[in-house]
């Protein structure tokens, strides 16, 4: 690969602001607006990391959150391990280091492990290290596991903010579908929050050719964003919706470019529009993991956003129409492009100055630290310095799945699409399977209408329209060579075949047996390919194999964001008794019990044993006073209060007479004792739950959870009075 920076172009970069940073000790030059990945590509840095198990060289694959290879540890103001180079802005003075490599990605001394790959296939550690004792091997295996390293000298840049927000509509994704949906909702008088994980709105319009309402796409984007902002709607760039939870709670992680910690948003919208786009898939061929083999769409993004030419002699391999624009743009930029299309019929015209080979597929790639050639399935060879692949598009339906949405297999799209609708959630754009811009806008209107809003005037695509025409190209059982499914976790076709031979044919078992899709990218480029391969091995269809469970977070979220202000003393604040001064006057020696500062004994700390024995004797011989102010006192009130406490406690509480108390205990959902204590009944519809001192917050949360789930607020009301209850 002979990547370089063009002298003109690049919508995302500011050439008047050059920057310089280091990667693995070497200086890298770039411009403001570059990501670490785009600057590395412009500097022709091919090897950016090493794979998890075999330490094979890895290059940049994508241009966004789907990136499986280019992970870096970042030092300095915004120190963070395992950061995607494709999403992290390049900054002047930044220090980045490749992960899973010693001392550098280019010269990793653990690269020898790849020579022993045949002895360490999927699940080898389950079988190899059981004798004579797993614990003899465990320390060394665990030392080699993991990717990035936490900097021991790292200091927190401050407390992460947490913001609670309500709105009528949350639109996730500021591509063409999201912008259109947000504008339609705004026109209907709805308050809108628009979030996108990119710094600039536009999505695919940032690098794909389009014209809208007779204007360049960039102008339409700018006008739409300005219109939404002037109407008072909240627009959050560099913000990822990482999870949908119960009752439409959506977690957002907002990244800041000035060194501040990320901000955690908890948004409760009335309705949600998911316009999350789609992710390009790899193609299966031997050695398809070499540096210099990357997503075709990513190469187009680097060209048009960052003016980076990813190679000079390029093969573009595809099974669908989307790669044709890539091939044409690269040829126009002056590269030697060969387009290899596995389809023979029904394909677009070849772009100008592009050589096309129809009805052929890549059989293998060759090279060591970067790709230098490819062999086609007819045995012919092409010398290249870069291979761009487009194996189709996988809709990003993770959030829909988290909301318990069911998926439906689409044969024309060779992908899972959202199935039966989920109340209050609509999916639009490429995430719903739309391909052309006209279909994207029409789908946005339909999505808005499904949420109860009247259809309004739509933007019109007046420029080139994308087409699909995909011919599925899944890995074939019994293929020769090492064909990689999961780049980061080193899962190959043979690993999936091994799992099937040992009866791990369930998609969830396949995931855990091979670690397919368990890397930091969570299988964004590998899951569907692995599922299709398992279908071929077992004689099933892809929908019969199914998908694994979609779980949050969609992308990693810093722990500091979840902690918020709960750091230092606020993480576990010392709780003090109302009678602390009285206890101290009586000579109490305090210790911490369940987060409370409570008397351990009286009489000073000189002879604790004697003091404790003396207290016990006096309690037996005369009288003792117990300070129970730390115990929980949670009131349960309402017409269904008796039924509610019966549901919560293992023993029956509704038969308790007013003015009496009864000991009881609660069980967790798996039958383990959660807490015990005394329940007091004050009258027919009023109880006081007394729980352990250290469990008050947990018990209160448990009561609220089940009240919300099974009982309405009109039936049961829960409160924790600050004063001590007295009878």
What does 169-189 look like in DSSP terms, one character per residue? EEEE--SHHHHHHHHHHHHTT
pLDDT at res. 319: 98
Q: Name the maximum alpha-carbon separation found in the chain.
A: 103
pLDDT at res. 271: 97
What pLDDT, in 10s, does the model give residues 651-702?
999 999 999 999 999 998 888 999 999 999 999 999 999 998 888 889 999 9
The C-alpha torsion from 218 through 222 and 225 to 230, rounded to 10°, is -170
Secondary element (H or E) of residue 596: strand 596-602
Instruction: Check residues 77 and 371 and name the one with the higher pLDDT.
Output: 371
Classify residue 167 as exposed, middle or buried by CB count within 10 Å of its CB (0-12, 13-18, 19+). buried
Q: Within 13 Å, how many C-alpha atoms sit on residue 20's CB side? A: 3
pLDDT band at residue 155 under the 50/70/90 scheme: low
Q: Is the pLDDT of residue 537 over 60?
A: yes
Q: How far apart are CA 33 and CA 16, in angstroms?
A: 11
Whether cis (ω within 30° of 0) applies to the bond prior to 132 is: yes
Q: How far apart are CA 99 and CA 112, in angstroms?
A: 17
Whether cis (ω within 30° of 0) applies to the bond prior to 553 is: yes
Classify residue 275 as exposed, middle or buried by CB count within 10 Å of its CB (0-12, 13-18, 19+). buried
Secondary element (H or E) of residue 332: helix 323-332
Instruction: Check residues 354 and 122 and name the one with the higher pLDDT.
Output: 354
Q: Which domains does the chain have, with CATH numbers?
A: 4-144 (3.10.20.440), 162-279+394-450 (3.50.50.60), 474-540 (1.10.10.1100), 574-621 (no CATH), 634-719 (3.30.70.1400)
Predicted model pTM: 0.87
pLDDT at res. 266: 98
Task: Single out the residue of 203, 468, 434 nearest to residue 325, CA to CA.
Answer: 468
The C-alpha torsion from 647 through 651 and 654 to 658, rounded to 10°, is -130
Are 42 and 6 a contacting pair, CB within 8 Å? Answer: no
**Beta-ladder partners of 315:** 338, 387
pLDDT at res. 455: 64
Q: How far apart are CA 538 and CA 521, in angstroms?
A: 26
pLDDT at res. 118: 86
Instruction: Check residues 610 and 249 and name the one with the higher pLDDT.
Output: 249
Q: Tell me the torsion sign for CA atoms 222, 223, 224, 227.
A: positive
Q: Which two tokens stand for residue 196?
A: 């996108």
Q: Which two tokens stand for residue 401?
A: 């799945």
Percentage of the chain modeled with pLDDT above 90: 77
Describe the crossing of helices 437-450 and 176-187 by its angle, rounded to 10 degrees: 40
Q: Is the pLDDT of residue 1 over 60?
A: no
Q: Which two tokens stand for residue 616?
A: 């016990």
């Amino acid at each position: 690969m002979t990547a370089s920076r063009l002298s003109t172009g690049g919508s995302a970069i500011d050439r008047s602001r050059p920057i310089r940073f280091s990667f693995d000790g070497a200086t890298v030059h770039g411009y403001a607006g570059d990501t670490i990945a785009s600057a590395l590509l412009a500097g022709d840095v091919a090897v950016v990391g090493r794979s998890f198990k075999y330490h094979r060289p890895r290059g940049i694959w994508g241009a966004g959150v789907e990136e499986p290879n280019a992970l870096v540890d970042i030092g300095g103001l915004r120190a963070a391990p395992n950061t995607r180079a494709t999403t992290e802005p390049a900054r002047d003075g930044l220090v980045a280091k490749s992960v899973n490599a010693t001392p550098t990605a280019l010269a990793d001394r653990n690269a020898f492990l790849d020579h022993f790959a045949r002895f360490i296939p999927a699940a080898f550690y389950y079988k190899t290290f059981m004798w004579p004792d797993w614990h003899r091997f465990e320390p060394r295996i665990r030392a080699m596991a993991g990717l990035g390293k936490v900097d021991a000298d790292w200091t927190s840049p401050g407390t992460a903010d947490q913001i609670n927000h309500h709105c009528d509509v949350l639109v996730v994704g500021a591509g063409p579908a999201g912008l259109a949906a947000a504008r339609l909702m705004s026109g209907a008088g709805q308050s809108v929050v628009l979030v996108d994980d990119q710094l600039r709105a536009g999505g695919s319009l940032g690098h794909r050719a389009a014209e809208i309402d007779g204007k360049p796409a960039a102008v339409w984007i700018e006008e739409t964003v300005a219109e939404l902002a002037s109407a008072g709607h909240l627009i959050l760039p560099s913000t990822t919706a990482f999870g949908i939870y119960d009752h439409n709670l959506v977690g957002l992680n907002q990244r800041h470019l000035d060194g501040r910690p990320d901000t955690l948003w908890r948004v409760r919208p009335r309705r949600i529009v998911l316009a999350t786009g789609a992710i390009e898939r790899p193609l299966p061929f031997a050695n398809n993991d070499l540096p210099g083999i990357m997503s075709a769409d990513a190469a187009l993004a680097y060209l048009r956003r960052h003016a980076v030419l990813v190679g000079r002699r390029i093969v573009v391999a595809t099974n669908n129409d989307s790669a044709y624009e890539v091939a044409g743009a690269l040829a126009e930029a002056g590269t030697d492009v060969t387009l290899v299309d596995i389809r023979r019929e029904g394909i677009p015209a070849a772009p100008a100055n592009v050589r096309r080979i129809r009805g052929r597929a890549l059989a293998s790639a060759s090279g060591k630290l970067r790709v230098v050639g490819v062999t086609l399935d007819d045995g012919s060879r092409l010398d290249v310095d870069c291979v761009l692949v487009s194996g189709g598009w996988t809709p990003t339906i993770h959030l829909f799945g988290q909301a318990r949405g069911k998926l439906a297999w689409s044969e024309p799209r060779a992908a899972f699409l959202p199935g039966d609708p989920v109340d209050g959630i609509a999916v639009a754009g490429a995430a719903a399977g739309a391909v052309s811009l006209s279909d994207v806008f029409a789908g946005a209107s339909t999505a808005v209408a499904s949420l109860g809003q009247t259809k309004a005037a739509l933007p019109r695509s007046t420029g080139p329209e994308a087409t699909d025409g995909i011919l599925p190209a899944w890995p074939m059982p019994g293929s020769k060579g090492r064909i990689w499914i999961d780049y980061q976790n080193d899962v190959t076709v043979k690993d999936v075949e091994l799992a099937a031979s040992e009866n791990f044919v369930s998609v969830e078992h396949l995931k855990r047996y091979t670690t397919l899709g368990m890397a930091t990218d969570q299988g964004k480029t590998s899951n569907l390919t692995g599922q299709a391969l398992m279908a071929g091995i077992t004689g099933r269809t892809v929908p019969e194999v199914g998908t694994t469970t979609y779980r949050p977070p969609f992308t990693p979220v810093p722990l500091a964001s979840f902690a918020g202000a709960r750091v230092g003393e606020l993480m576990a604040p010392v709780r003090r008794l109302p009678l602390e001064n009285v206890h101290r006057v009586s000579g109490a020696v305090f210790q911490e019990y369940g987060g409370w500062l409570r008397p351990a004994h009286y009489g000073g700390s000189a002879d604790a044993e004697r003091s404790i024995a003396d207290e016990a004797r006096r309690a037996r011989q005369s009288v003792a006073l117990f300070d129970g102010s730390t115990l929980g006192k949670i009131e349960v009130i309402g017409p269904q209060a008796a039924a509610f406490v019966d549901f919560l406690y293992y023993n029956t509480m509704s038969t308790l007479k007013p003015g009496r108390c009864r000991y009881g205990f609660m069980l967790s959902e798996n039958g383990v004792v959660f807490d015990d204590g005394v329940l007091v009944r004050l009258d027919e519809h009023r109880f006081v739950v007394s729980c352990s001192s250290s469990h008050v917050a947990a018990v209160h949360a448990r009561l609220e959870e089940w009240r919300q789930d099974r009982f309405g607020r009109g039936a049961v009301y829960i409160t924790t009075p600050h004063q001590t209850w007295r009878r």
